[in-house]
Structure 1
Amino acid sequence: MLSRELLEILACPRCKGDLTYDERRNVLICTNCRVYYPVEEDIPILLTDSARPLEELEVESQAENS
């Protein structure tokens, strides 16, 4: 789990916008860029190459709910 203090200073490496932590999926989401970044062993992987389209999470979520 990421600390509140860390979440307050993190920013999207693409647009410098705010990130939202999805604790259940263990990812950081940028709604401006519509991408998410993985968090591995409580370490945010904020590399532009690590960004994945937000649609991938939405598809996974729909599959889980089916």
Structure 2
Amino acid sequence: MTVGSCSSSVKRKKVRRSKRFVRQIQGKDRGAVAQPNHVWAMDFMPDQLNDDRHIRVLTIIDAFN
């Protein structure tokens, strides 16, 4: 009997994690925003209510400032 050798064929499941991909502009210069209402930015902001419920608020802003 050899210590440290393992002859059992136990297979472990691999845990797959979901990956989020964000499409990015590559190789192009975004440049400056020339006028109002030309480029908008949006994001979900987390918040918590008084009764401890969690919400996500969609914020949309004009990038011309």
TM-score by length of 2: 0.19
* Structure with more of its chain in helix, by fraction: 1
Which gives a bigger RCO, structure 1 or 2 (Cα 8 Å, sep 6+)? 2
Give the number of the structure whose alpha-carbon radius of gyration is greater. Answer: 2
